[in-house]
Amino acid sequence: MSRESHEGQPELDADNPLTLPGFFDALAEGELLGGICADCGEVLLPPRPACYNCGSRSIDVESRPRIGYIYTYTEVHTPPPALEDDAPYTIAIVELESGGRLTGRVESPYEVVEIGDRVELRVRAPTEGERLLALEHESGWPIHVFERIE
């Protein structure tokens, strides 16, 4: 990864919302940040320094609505060892109302989840097992889960 900074671009340090630590810091405060490509309109979730559609580096970071619907989902039977006690659990790709997709766990059993269910993104502190899974610099990061809403 290059560490040189581009003219007119903010440094990509951990406070920058274009980095994962910056994204998770905002998420811990209940704010979902998305990057919007100024050139093609692609929504980048989480925000990235460059657009994965057109390669542009003109990315605006905005707070995004936390409501979406289940685009697809599956059940995890063989999770990483630290999450064995939680299995089976449901994970889904959620299409957010404002565009962009985010993968995460759904707080509902697989049997009751359906494609198209409306969900809201919630944020909670990691459990002990989730902390064990995390890399050291991630250990304080919040866990995002989707809760089905009517």
| Footprint on this chain of Zn ion (rule: CB under 5 A) | 37, 39-40, 42, 51, 53-54, 56
Give min distance, CB of 124 to Zn ion, in A. 32
Number of Cβ atoms within 10 Å of the Cβ of 150: 4
Give min distance, CB of 53 to Zn ion, in A. 4
Name which of 39 and 84 has its Cβ closer to Zn ion: 39
Name which of 39 and 86 has its Cβ closer to Zn ion: 39
Give min distance, CB of 15 to Zn ion, in A. 24
> Which residues, in sequence order, are CB contacts of 102 under 8 Å at separation 6+?
45, 68, 93, 94, 96, 121, 144
**What are the Cα distances from residue 108, in Å, to 48, 67, 118?**
30, 16, 12
Name which of 45 and 91 has its Cβ closer to Zn ion: 45
Name which of 51 and 145 has its Cβ closer to Zn ion: 51
Give min distance, CB of 47 to Zn ion, in A. 12
Helix runs in the chain, H state only: 20-28, 128-133
Q: Is the dihedral angle over the CA atoms 72, 75, 80, 84 positive or is it negative?
A: positive
